[in-house]
Amino acid sequence: MNHQTLKKMLEKVKDGQTSVQDALAALKDLYFEDMGFAHVDHHRSIRKGFPEVIYGGGKTVEQIACIMERMASQGDVVLVTRLDPDKGLALSGRFPQSSYDEQARMLVLEETPLPDKGRGKIVVACAGTSDIPVAKEAYLTAKTMGNSVDLICDVGVAGLHRLLAYRQALESATVIVAVAGMEGALPSVVAGLFAKPVIAVPTSIGYGTSFNGLTALLAMLNSCASNVAVVNIDNGFGGGYVASMINRG
Amino acid sequence: MNHQTLKKMLEKVKDGQTSVQDALAALKDLYFEDMGFAHVDHHRSIRKGFPEVIYGGGKTVEQIACIMERMASQGDVVLVTRLDPDKGLALSGRFPQSSYDEQARMLVLEETPLPDKGRGKIVVACAGTSDIPVAKEAYLTAKTMGNSVDLICDVGVAGLHRLLAYRQALESATVIVAVAGMEGALPSVVAGLFAKPVIAVPTSIGYGTSFNGLTALLAMLNSCASNVAVVNIDNGFGGGYVASMINRG
Amino acid sequence: MNHQTLKKMLEKVKDGQTSVQDALAALKDLYFEDMGFAHVDHHRSIRKGFPEVIYGGGKTVEQIACIMERMASQGDVVLVTRLDPDKGLALSGRFPQSSYDEQARMLVLEETPLPDKGRGKIVVACAGTSDIPVAKEAYLTAKTMGNSVDLICDVGVAGLHRLLAYRQALESATVIVAVAGMEGALPSVVAGLFAKPVIAVPTSIGYGTSFNGLTALLAMLNSCASNVAVVNIDNGFGGGYVASMINRG
Amino acid sequence: MNHQTLKKMLEKVKDGQTSVQDALAALKDLYFEDMGFAHVDHHRSIRKGFPEVIYGGGKTVEQIACIMERMASQGDVVLVTRLDPDKGLALSGRFPQSSYDEQARMLVLEETPLPDKGRGKIVVACAGTSDIPVAKEAYLTAKTMGNSVDLICDVGVAGLHRLLAYRQALESATVIVAVAGMEGALPSVVAGLFAKPVIAVPTSIGYGTSFNGLTALLAMLNSCASNVAVVNIDNGFGGGYVASMINRG
Amino acid sequence: MNHQTLKKMLEKVKDGQTSVQDALAALKDLYFEDMGFAHVDHHRSIRKGFPEVIYGGGKTVEQIACIMERMASQGDVVLVTRLDPDKGLALSGRFPQSSYDEQARMLVLEETPLPDKGRGKIVVACAGTSDIPVAKEAYLTAKTMGNSVDLICDVGVAGLHRLLAYRQALESATVIVAVAGMEGALPSVVAGLFAKPVIAVPTSIGYGTSFNGLTALLAMLNSCASNVAVVNIDNGFGGGYVASMINRG
Amino acid sequence: MNHQTLKKMLEKVKDGQTSVQDALAALKDLYFEDMGFAHVDHHRSIRKGFPEVIYGGGKTVEQIACIMERMASQGDVVLVTRLDPDKGLALSGRFPQSSYDEQARMLVLEETPLPDKGRGKIVVACAGTSDIPVAKEAYLTAKTMGNSVDLICDVGVAGLHRLLAYRQALESATVIVAVAGMEGALPSVVAGLFAKPVIAVPTSIGYGTSFNGLTALLAMLNSCASNVAVVNIDNGFGGGYVASMINRG
Amino acid sequence: MNHQTLKKMLEKVKDGQTSVQDALAALKDLYFEDMGFAHVDHHRSIRKGFPEVIYGGGKTVEQIACIMERMASQGDVVLVTRLDPDKGLALSGRFPQSSYDEQARMLVLEETPLPDKGRGKIVVACAGTSDIPVAKEAYLTAKTMGNSVDLICDVGVAGLHRLLAYRQALESATVIVAVAGMEGALPSVVAGLFAKPVIAVPTSIGYGTSFNGLTALLAMLNSCASNVAVVNIDNGFGGGYVASMINRG
Amino acid sequence: MNHQTLKKMLEKVKDGQTSVQDALAALKDLYFEDMGFAHVDHHRSIRKGFPEVIYGGGKTVEQIACIMERMASQGDVVLVTRLDPDKGLALSGRFPQSSYDEQARMLVLEETPLPDKGRGKIVVACAGTSDIPVAKEAYLTAKTMGNSVDLICDVGVAGLHRLLAYRQALESATVIVAVAGMEGALPSVVAGLFAKPVIAVPTSIGYGTSFNGLTALLAMLNSCASNVAVVNIDNGFGGGYVASMINRG
């Protein structure tokens, strides 16, 4: 029940077309309907420039295709994450307007790309070349969500000059997504240099005591710079998503 | 060496007052001077509305007082975090213009409070009454950093109606700081309901397998809602700080 | 807004006393009102024989007393858990009708004890004498929630005959709460012997690699007997609470 | 030695047919016989409506088939869990009356399905579509054990309205099995809304710091709602089993 | 019901003094009685030279005194472990024949010390002077249990010559208890040099990543020498107990 | 250099046949020679009835074959552990007198089996059928090392009567090796019933929070029965080896 | 901008060829240029005898080849680490002057090997034959970096005589790299015997609670010998690299 | 028995002053004496400029005083680490020539300070003021061991300019000890900038997920710069000790 149907019902009550009893019965479930509203509200706010997102991990091609069809039929921009190459190719074959990025393991289906409604620019920076897949997931997410995004690679702390060479780009960002594995020090250094919100994305790059990204995550959570918040390991999508929220304003 | 002194030196080179050799020697260390510039820049950007922050944990009253004096002499707003009551009282005695909040364990010294330069409002919400100290640390941090802040307490997920009663306040926020211990589910629910960046702050409230907040932290990092980023356990300060950065725009 | 006020408003719409516009505005927030209903429902169902519970950990005597007063004024049975002796004594002094159990660290305030509405009997069994405080918390919780409860102590697996001596009592239970620290084997053995739901409560009794109850918890989660479900370490309250729910029917 | 043989022996002692010495010797092993009784008792109580269960993990097709044959020959309903598809197909080929569910990885062999002897209905609810295999394991277990069961999918906390739409079904349950991965918040929310025993089943769905379900497990153990008890990660079978015990009454 | 009472009852059945019906009723619980036998057996075998042991941790002086009295009245040798000095002094005051060892935190009450029934000698060796309390707990346990025991201190692997100086003593042992904290390498080296069963006892000596003995424990479990078995951290009692069992033969 | 050669050298010094200088040089390396002695002693004691053992994990067929040849040439009994089936078959092809056990993943090469020199019998008991591979590794190790060994399978604590049916066999053992996965409760129950040294072997059988055997290990280390010592997860070899040492006397 | 271009610019300012304004603008970025200098400095110091290193893990053959070409064109010695055999063969095919070591998984490309500039000799010692791949990585790294290196294998602590037989080689080293898995005791023993800096490299050799090298790492970090510092698990490269730095002087 | 006493004894054997029998008896322990040599050698090499070190943690004042007396009597420089202030004061009262440093918790007793025999200078740098105690422990250790040492404080990565201001000092070091808590990024940045061996010392400074220094430790072990080796958490002593070894050359 939405605003229109509610209004109509009230008018029918007023006009005597609907009895108080029936209206009462109808409103009895309004709570759920309201939750339905909330649902719609939620979706509406999300569709204010955000694509629909499907978590591809652990879903079959059939399941994903089914959800995509329902969404695409409503003209939504659709983002599928954590999609293995074989599934990605199968789906991009079925949805010819879609494009699959193997590095980011993402499928994007956007007939009408979302317009840029951001307050400014998002910069995604990653420490090593091995972190690029995660960084690209963040980059593609933010881009598909309607943002201007820069991607800066291989600027880890073992060679600070590489990072500093991009000072201007980083200084101009509304929010920085800093992606790093191993000791995960990039967000600390970036956040120390630039007074911006820094979304830190730990990656599983490393071996031994990197514990598949746990060390990078812990380091980021303990940053001595205070303008750092963290998302899950290898969660480039989350990093790009939160950054988009922040940039939207 | 700042812009003025650099310009003067170059003019002296032009006028022959300084030899190329001497200028070369002076510029030899410019790199450091430049880093000095960066230092100043860094501070300047931080002082653009942000207080100086001293991490009180593991420092003596004498050490803190010494740093505070140097800062206060420059007219800075000063924030001391993680300050035990005995130290807090000792310092607030020595700095009569300062005020100590025992719950948040923070000392604030602000002769001239920072003006509100935020794009909108920050809302800090916490799950239980036991989470209030951490929530208040976030609240005070954001407030001292020059933001309009709301504090909503005891709206945990075991009684959803309590949270929903504050829907309007939450809907109107630029950024939400969600504070919770135990199973740490509040940020997931909040982020599912409101399309805002949510900074999740896990607290050490709980016992047994709460592992002093680790469980809440892990839950928040694994939120099925994508607009959540997380800071360290009990890091109300960090939550308020990142939210301020986001709200600044 | 409850059923009555909603009916009245609809009647006013019918009678033209309230315009469709105003009714629409009033119903705009119905969602929250409905959640308010849910709230009442929730509480009502809980009060169907269950006491109000206050988690005493990390709350001041003042905070607890304040909540107790509000509850007691409504005639509720009140249970305060995790209450240190000094707070317990202070509060039992302020609420003379209440009684404080130092072992269970619980305060019970019940002017009119809840009647026994259980389907049968709950049996709480613990492995060692050191587990008694947690077992007693489960016992008192279940008892205060209106159940017939038996407490059997010191029946750990290193001396099986002790456990088997209570076979009849255990066989007659609707649900068994099995409390154990160290290697936490009691629930497995109990659940192997009796075809009952067994709620396992690990305790922090032990040292070294007992890791404050983690070992017992893990053992219980991996029980080779399938009729075991587990609550948090030292969570005697939770064990008694779930058992009450199960016994209620 | 059962009641009859024991009685006969005592009568022979009375009649002098058996000497005290011989009776003493026979009774010396009664303990074991009694344990044999216990064994029979145990089985009898279990067979009062529960199927025999074989843990398929780490067993060969040959081993499982051998056990199944012995059980089936006694007319037992047999449940095999954790059965990989290849083994499942091999076994369902050998036992034509059996049926294999690939999602739940379970094989059910029931010539005469168990009658529904439950006090009421069990509801199994899961948070995401990726949790369905575990939820289905719980569903099939409870169903095979002779219960009326509902299965509700994809009602995670990031979209509360989806969950609330099933309020009636959940309200009518005797016991709820709540299945979730990632941050594992579903049981907390469900247990906050419905005054029922909630058996929480964490799943290994997620990545990074979900630690293969550990995060969901920890969150569930720390639920701020008290009517939650937890089973092992991905242990849908255990969840359905405990729920059946509870529903049996 | 013991052998005597059972015999008597059977004789009464024979003599007609007890009816078959009554004997049947009495024997109905024989299972438990049998378990009682097992209990007695168990105790008997334990008393074949082993003292009764009370775990003092988490018990009050009153509880311990009460158990001690019951045991002492039966002439048992009594060992109380994990006894804090204040409790130890209080109890040794109450039991004048007892002696309390503050280092080992043990109280021994033995009117008639157990005779040495061991096959040979037990050697307890510890790595550093800080490990002495745990080593002494092992030493006293083994000694009180009726063994010939040697205690060798401060023979850690950083100075191998110290260990080798005791080669003769170690070579002559039936079983060696090797106690070490920090990196816990002593058992590996000892087990490499001497073809004896080595019971390794990790201690909580160390800091940082010693994790209160976890590192030593893990090292011992991974010994490249195969004749090593391990007990819990700081479990000198367990080390001495197992060694006694092995030495008994 | 042994006693004789040392004596001879000293006599030569006395007789002037060897100069002080040369004696000094010879004695300079005596330390190593002595260590050489130790080496020989060590091997001698080990060869007093124990086979040579090769850890097969991470070694190539070539490496293993090479070591085996050197050993076999000296008439040693050779045991290769952790040998994958493909390597096992390759090696048993090359050493026709050897036999490979696929369950235990062990290769045994014994031209002349070691005679039984044990004090008594070793009993290996395992909880479930899935634990048999590890139990068999313990069994084969102990057997090859010259012991009389019994293997008892599927006697886990969820059905105590199964265990108790083997009471006589267990009572007659010199040492018991208890093998279990999941909650690892078997050693506690066994050690509570029988006053024998119990070597507990945790297995990686289980899922979720069994953490590949860690839970079983922790439970065993925290056994409330004191006569338990533990070896590494899945270390059937170590369990059999330590038991052999204990049985040797 | 280097010394020459800076000098030229200053001379142009002096001569009036460049305005103060333009010089100011050019110097504005000097900071970065200086960092460029630092970059060059850094590289220069590294090239003073150290090869360029490419972390091969997670990079494609194409990516590695591309970097190698750029480096090789400058005459650099190139080291590629963590290179799987298939990639290693592909690359050694493309760079015929390079050589690939399958055990160490390293590719070395050195037209002109670096001269030995070390103060002395580096000794790499490993505990077991399974540790050889990691030890060889350390060996090859140190060798390629221009050092005299010895490799000693299979000298674990379970047979101390093996280690002591190499006393002279170890005594003569400038720095020792000690490589071990399992309980990781080798560095403690080595560091106790020789007053040298010992770089400990834990390996992932072991099973169960070796936790893929974590146990060895923890043991090494807790060495009771003080002259030990540790690198990451299986980080033979790091061990060889740090040792080279130390040996360079 | 040292070289001189051995030579004398051999000469007495030659001269007939000592019988072969007596020499044999004396040499019987030569092996151990040889180990004594090793011991003495070890000590000698250590005394080549290194003080004797006593780990004060867990030792009584009496125990420490006793060891100190034995050492001081031999003219050794003595270092006591991990000494609580009360013990430190008690001991410095008893040894008037000693000095106690409360920050470093070290007691130094050096009648004749060791001469500087280092190849160059050691630089100890720490990230925050809270890390100073650990840094000072490293500083004092290295200084007492006879090195020229610089101590640089508060140069953490959140303000890189502070670190770079000390570039010259760091560039001139033979070895750098980098001390940091929280995210532990300092060693990575330092090792990236300076081609020196960097000994990283993690500190327990931080809260929440700093896990008492574990996060800093893990970060350091995963440094993307290769010239980093790590010691235990808060092990300033170890850092200073290894650095001294490296600097000695």
- pLDDT values of chain F reduced to their tens digit, one per residue, 249 residues: 445 566 777 788 888 888 877 776 666 544 433 333 333 333 433 445 577 788 888 788 998 998 888 877 777 789 999 999 999 999 999 999 999 999 999 999 988 888 888 999 999 999 988 999 999 999 999 999 999 999 999 899 887 878 888 989 999 999 999 999 999 999 999 999 999 999 999 999 999 999 999 999 999 999 999 999 999 999 999 999 999 999 986
Backbone angles phi, psi at H79, to 5 degrees: -125, 125
Over its C-alpha atoms, chain B yields an Rg (Å, rounded) of 22
Q: Which chains touch H (3 or more CB pairs under 8 A)?
A: A, B, E, F, G
Distance from CA of E167 to the nearest CA of C (A): 31
d(CA B228, CA A232): 10
Contacts of E183 in chain G (CB under 8 A): 183-185, 188, 218-220, 222-224
Convert the pLDDT of each residue in C49-88 to its tens digit.
577 788 888 788 998 998 888 877 777 789 999 999 999 9
d(CA B162, CA B160): 5
Distance from CA of C235 to the nearest CA of B (A): 8
Beta bridge pairs of residue C101: C106
Residues F231 and F201: beta-carbon distance below 8 Å: yes
Cβ–Cβ of D13/E14 closer than 8 Å? Answer: yes
State which residue of chain D sits closest to A233, comparing Cα positions. Answer: D208
Residues F170 and F121: beta-carbon distance below 8 Å: no
Q: Which residue has the higher pLDDT, C216 or F110?
A: C216
Enumerate chain C positions whose Cβ falls within 8 A of a Cβ in A: 3, 6-7, 10-11, 13-14, 16, 20, 23-24, 27, 30-31, 34-35, 37-38
Physical contact, C and E (3 or more Cβ pairs within 8 A): yes
Distance from CA of C205 to the nearest CA of E (A): 8
User: Which amino acid makes up residue E170?
Assistant: L
Q: Among B6, B20, B24, whose Cβ lies nearest the Cβ of G27?
A: B6
Cβ–Cβ of D10/E20 closer than 8 Å? Answer: yes
Physical contact, E and A (3 or more Cβ pairs within 8 A): no
List C-alpha distances in Å: A184 to A209, A231, C46, G87, H131: 13, 13, 48, 27, 20
Cβ–Cβ of E59/C165 closer than 8 Å? Answer: no
Secondary element (H or E) of residue E80: strand E78-81
First to last CA, chain A: 30
User: Which tokens sit at C77?
Assistant: 């049975």
Q: Among F7, F24, F30, whose Cβ lies nearest the Cβ of H10?
A: F24
How many residue pairs bridge chain A and chain B with CB atoms within 8 Å of each other? Answer: 82
- Classify residue D144 by its DSSP letter: H
Distance from CA of H104 to the nearest CA of A (A): 23
Q: Which residue has the higher pLDDT, F177 or G76?
A: F177
Please say if the pLDDT value at position D239 is more than 70. Answer: yes
Q: Which chains touch D (3 or more CB pairs under 8 A)?
A: A, B, C, E, F
- For β-strands C121-126 and H148-152, DSSP reports them as unpaired
**Per-residue model confidence (pLDDT) at position D65:** 92
Cβ–Cβ of C229/D222 closer than 8 Å? Answer: no
Physical contact, G and B (3 or more Cβ pairs within 8 A): yes
State which residue of chain B sits closest to G8, comparing Cα positions. Answer: B20
Distance of CA A56 to the CA centre of its chain: 14
d(CA H200, CA H219): 10
**Per-residue model confidence (pLDDT) at position H25:** 64
Convert the pLDDT of each residue in G147-164 to its tens digit.
999 999 989 988 787 888
Contacts of E223 in chain G (CB under 8 A): 158, 182-183
Convert the pLDDT of each residue in A1-56 to its tens digit.
445 566 777 788 888 888 877 776 666 444 333 333 333 333 433 444 577 788 88
Q: Among D192, D221, D249, whose Cβ lies nearest the Cβ of C231?
A: D221
**Per-residue model confidence (pLDDT) at position F27:** 62
Contacts of B3 in chain G (CB under 8 A): 24
d(CA A125, CA D185): 32
Physical contact, G and C (3 or more Cβ pairs within 8 A): no
**Per-residue model confidence (pLDDT) at position B33:** 35
Using the Cα atoms of residue F154, residue F159, residue F162 and residue F164 in order, give the sign of their dihedral. positive
User: Which tokens sit at E76?
Assistant: 């048992």
Q: Among G195, G221, G232, whose Cβ lies nearest the Cβ of H231?
A: G221
Q: Among D195, D226, D230, whose Cβ lies nearest the Cβ of C229?
A: D230
Contacts of E160 in chain H (CB under 8 A): 35, 38
Q: Which residues of chain E have pLDDT under 50?
A: 1-2, 28-48
Cβ–Cβ of G63/A161 closer than 8 Å? Answer: no
Residue E15 CB burial class (10 angstroms; 0-12, 13-18, ≥19): exposed
**Per-residue model confidence (pLDDT) at position H42:** 35
Cβ–Cβ of E39/C128 closer than 8 Å? Answer: no
Mean pLDDT of the region A127-136: 94
**Per-residue model confidence (pLDDT) at position H45:** 39
State which residue of chain A sits closest to D161, comparing Cα positions. Answer: A35
Average pLDDT for chain H? 85
Map tokens 């097992």 to a residue. E38
d(CA B104, CA B203): 13
Mean pLDDT of the region G93-121: 92
User: Which tokens sit at A17?
Assistant: 């077309």
Q: Name the packing angle between helices B30-47 and A186-193 (round to 10°).
A: 80
List C-alpha distances in Å: A197 to A137, A179, B199, C144, F144: 19, 14, 11, 51, 66
**Per-residue model confidence (pLDDT) at position C55:** 87
Enumerate chain D positions whose Cβ falls within 8 A of a Cβ in A: 128-130, 159-162, 164-165, 167, 205, 207-210
Cβ–Cβ of A55/D130 closer than 8 Å? Answer: yes
**Per-residue model confidence (pLDDT) at position H93:** 95
Mean pLDDT of the region H138-163: 92
- Classify residue F127 by its DSSP letter: S
Q: Among B160, B205, B209, whose Cβ lies nearest the Cβ of C233?
A: B209
Enumerate chain A positions whose Cβ falls within 8 A of a Cβ in G: 128-130, 159-162, 164-165, 167, 205, 207-210
Count, in order, helices (H) and strands (E) of chain G.
11, 9
DSSP-based three-state secondary structure for D88: helix
Enumerate chain A positions whose Cβ falls within 8 A of a Cβ in H: 127-128, 156-160, 182-185, 188-189, 191-193, 206, 208-211, 214-216, 218-225
Distance from CA of G127 to the nearest CA of F (A): 13
Q: Which residues contact C19 (CB under 8 A, 6 or more apart)?
A: C13
Cβ–Cβ of D42/C197 closer than 8 Å? Answer: no
Convert the pLDDT of each residue in G195-216 to its tens digit.
999 999 999 999 999 999 999 9
Physical contact, E and D (3 or more Cβ pairs within 8 A): yes
Distance from CA of A105 to the nearest CA of B (A): 17
DSSP for chain H, please give it: --HHHHHHHHHHHHTTSS-HHHHHHHHHTHHHHHHHHHHHHHHHHHHTT--EEEE-TT--HHHHHHHHHHHHTTT--EEEES--HHHHHHHHHHSTT-EEETTTTEEEE-SSPPP---SSEEEEEESSGGGHHHHHHHHHHHHHTT-EEEEE----GGGHHHHHTTHHHHHTEEEEEEEE-TT--HHHHHHHH--S-EEEEE-----GGGGGGHHHHHHHHT-SSSSEEE--TT-HHHHHHHHHHHHH-
Contacts of H85 in chain B (CB under 8 A): none
According to CATH, where is 3.40.50.1970 located in chain D?
Answer: 121-248
Contacts of G204 in chain A (CB under 8 A): 208
Cβ–Cβ of A160/H189 closer than 8 Å? Answer: yes
Cβ–Cβ of F164/D35 closer than 8 Å? Answer: yes
Mean pLDDT of the region A106-131: 91
First to last CA, chain F: 30
- For β-strands D106-109 and D99-101, DSSP reports them as antiparallel
**Per-residue model confidence (pLDDT) at position G3:** 53
DSSP-based three-state secondary structure for A174: strand
Banded pLDDT at C37 (limits 50, 70, 90): very low
Please name the CATH architecture into which domain A121-248 falls: 3-Layer(aba) Sandwich (3.40)
HSE of A103, CA atoms in CB hemisphere, 13 A = 17
DSSP-based three-state secondary structure for F89: helix
| Tally of CB atoms within 10 A around D113 | 12
Q: Which residues contact F69 (CB under 8 A, 6 or more apart)?
A: none
Mean pLDDT of the region G90-106: 95
Using the Cα atoms of residue H5, residue H6, residue H9 and residue H14 in order, give the sign of their dihedral. negative
Q: Among C50, C226, C245, whose Cβ lies nearest the Cβ of D197?
A: C245
HSE of E133, CA atoms in CB hemisphere, 13 A = 20
Cβ–Cβ of D164/A35 closer than 8 Å? Answer: yes
CA angle F170/F174/F176 to nearest 5° reads 55
DSSP for chain C, please give it: --HHHHHHHHHHHHTTSS-HHHHHHHHHTHHHHHHHHHHHHHHHHHHTT--EEEE-TT--HHHHHHHHHHHHTTT--EEEES--HHHHHHHHHHSTT-EEETTTTEEEE-SSPPP---SSEEEEEESSGGGHHHHHHHHHHHHHTT-EEEEE----GGGHHHHHTTHHHHHTEEEEEEEE-TT--HHHHHHHH--S-EEEEE---S-GGGGGGHHHHHHHHT-SSSSEEE--TT-HHHHHHHHHHHHH-
User: Which tokens sit at D178?
Assistant: 């709540």
d(CA C202, CA C217): 5
Please say if the pLDDT value at position B49 is more than 70. Answer: no
**Per-residue model confidence (pLDDT) at position G117:** 82
* ipTM summary value: 0.84
DSSP for B139-197, please give it: HHHHHHTT-EEEEE----GGGHHHHHTTHHHHHTEEEEEEEE-TT--HHHHHHHH--S-
d(CA H9, CA H6): 5
Convert the pLDDT of each residue in E106-144 to its tens digit.
999 988 888 888 999 999 999 988 999 999 999 999 999
Enumerate chain F positions whose Cβ falls within 8 A of a Cβ in G: 31-32, 35-36, 38-39, 42, 55, 57-59, 63, 82, 202, 204, 212-214, 217, 232-235
How many residue pairs bridge chain E and chain H with CB atoms within 8 Å of each other? Answer: 45
User: Which amino acid makes up residue E210?
Assistant: S
The size of chain F, in residues, is: 249
Cβ–Cβ of C165/E32 closer than 8 Å? Answer: yes
